[in-house]
A = this chain, B = another copy of it.
């Protein structure tokens, strides 16, 4: 079984032109089937402000009305996705940009409006791998933005971490899949203020005490839940850390296992 690397990058890379350039140059050198998933960073909020559209967030998640959906579609699928694709092409990485609507690759359900109405937010229902397999077999690298669809014509705002884990799970029967969440820290930290206090391994047993002791909290909780969802569904390897972990095995990071 071949290995497929699914790599998610977030705001610390996307919002920094130089960091993005450097990352993409390195990413292009990965000589294996790979899929890149990118979040939206701060650009959508910035555009909303320029357009004088109110930004509504609940528990760190964007409330997506029609105007906001237009904005994130423009920013995520347009500006960010195409900038990444063009830069990868410059480094001879044959990238194609995707939303979940393209090739019907990721179908979501509209999130129920209760208890909280997040508007046009989608929860992933099904990943269709056929088209992506054809591309991967032809050494093409799909680049996913955090938008899916309901197969009835509606685009839906979808969490990028979830897209990455669902893609990894979708491919787990075809490839030995590895899922990498790149963010601004070296991994899950024992002490949030000390980037060297990396917890190198977290498994199902050690997870619960880390929550109870307040070491894993807030934004890290959904991220870790995505990780466990992946390892519990045949994904072979799940890591969290700085993007450097991809290119330097000695770079500290957290590995999540069953």
Contact = CB atoms under 8 A, between A and B. Distances in A.
B85 A99 contact: yes
Contacts of A87: 153
B99 A82 contact: yes
A131 B99 CA distance: 18
B131 A89 contact: no
Identical chains bound together, number: 2
Interface residues of A, number: 42
A97 interface: yes
A106 B98 CA distance: 17
Main secondary structure of the interface of A (DSSP, over half): helix
A180 B34 CA distance: 37
A97 B104 CA distance: 11
Contact of A96 (B76, B79, B102): B102
B99 A103 contact: no
Contact of A82 (B47, B104, B140, B147): B147
Contacts of A104: 89, 94
A55 to B, nearest CB: 15
